[in-house]
């Protein structure tokens, strides 16, 4: 008998009688103002939130907020005059020197400040993790209240890789002192647009 068969046989023999799944549709939070809640939560976790209004304004803000002499990368055609358009065929190691990655979120979650990104909006899987700074564009109407609402939207979505990102990378491993910028971005900015 192979290891697989052995393990499966033991599990089958030892598992208790079937216990039903609970109804999780009971988890409903009605948030009066999801944009406000989102903004508070995101700022609370160390993110920088900017109400940009439009994509056009985002361009001006990026020019103002980030060092233009360094490498900016985005998968958004609309930002091609402030950032290099990412090449999907490039080796991920070549992204090592990216100063700023600009990505548009699929959705954002008010209860925890996180954004949902899939690899098609990232351009490269490694981009939002390897860049020194991360900027994410969030459309106000894409903000949902809770993780349950988020999964309701992405329940049947197909992707190779997707991730929630809830702020700049961080660690408190040395004496519980909070340090922003562990291995991933040192900062995360969310530009809210209508």
Residue span binding another protein (CB under 8 A) among the ranges 7-15, 52-60, 68-76, 100-108: 7-15
Q: Tell the smallest beta-carbon distance from residue 139 to another protein (Å).
A: 20
Give Cα separations from 177 to 85, 172, 174 (angstroms): 37, 5, 6
CB of 163 to another protein, least distance (A): 4
Query: Closer to another protein at the Cβ: 82 or 131?
Result: 131
User: The tokens 């490039």 sit on which residue?
Assistant: 90
- Residue 77 phi/psi, 5-degree rounding, is -55, -40
63 counts as binding another protein under rule CB under 8 A? no
Instruction: Find the binder of another protein among 72, 130, 137, 192 (CB under 8 A).
Output: 130
139 is an interface residue for another protein by CB under 8 A = no
| Terminal-residue alpha carbon distance, the chain | 60
- The CA–CA distances, whole Å, from 66 to 23, 128, 133, 162, 190 equal 47, 16, 9, 26, 14
Q: Does 21 bind another protein (CB under 8 A)?
A: yes
Q: Does 53 bind another protein (CB under 8 A)?
A: no
Residues 150-169 that bind another protein (CB under 8 A): 150-152, 154-155, 159-169
**Smallest gap, in angstroms, from Cβ of residue 60 to another protein?**
28
Contact indicator for 102, 79 with CB cutoff of 8 Å: yes
Among the candidate windows 49-57, 73-81, 90-98, 100-108, which touches another protein by CB under 8 A?
Answer: 90-98
Burial of 189 (0-12, 13-18, 19+ CB in 10 A): buried
H or E stretch including 130? helix 127-130
Stretch that binds another protein, among 48-56, 63-71, 98-106, 110-118 (CB under 8 A): 110-118
Shortest distance, CB of residue 132 to another protein, whole angstroms? Answer: 10
């Amino acid at each position: 008998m192979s290891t697989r068969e052995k393990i499966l046989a033991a599990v089958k023999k030892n598992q208790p009688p079937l216990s039903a799944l609970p109804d999780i549709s009971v988890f409903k939070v009605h948030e009066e103002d999801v944009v406000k809640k989102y903004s508070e939560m995101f700022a609370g976790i160390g993110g920088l939130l900017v109400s940009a209004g439009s994509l056009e304004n985002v361009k001006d803000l990026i020019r103002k907020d980030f060092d233009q002499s360094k490498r900016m990368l985005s998968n958004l055609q609309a930002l091609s005059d402030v950032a290099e358009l990412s090449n999907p065929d490039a080796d991920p190691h070549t992204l090592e020197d990216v100063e700023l990655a600009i990505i548009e979120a699929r959705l954002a979650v008010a209860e925890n400040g996180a954004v949902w990104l899939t690899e098609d909006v990232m351009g490269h899987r490694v981009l939002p993790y390897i860049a020194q700074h991360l900027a994410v564009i969030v459309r106000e109407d894409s903000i949902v209240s809770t993780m349950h609402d988020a999964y309701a939207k992405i329940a049947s979505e197909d992707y190779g890789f997707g991730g929630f990102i809830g702020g700049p990378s961080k660690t408190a491993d040395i004496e519980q002192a909070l340090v922003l910028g562990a291995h991933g971005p040192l900062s995360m900015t969310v530009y809210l647009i209508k």
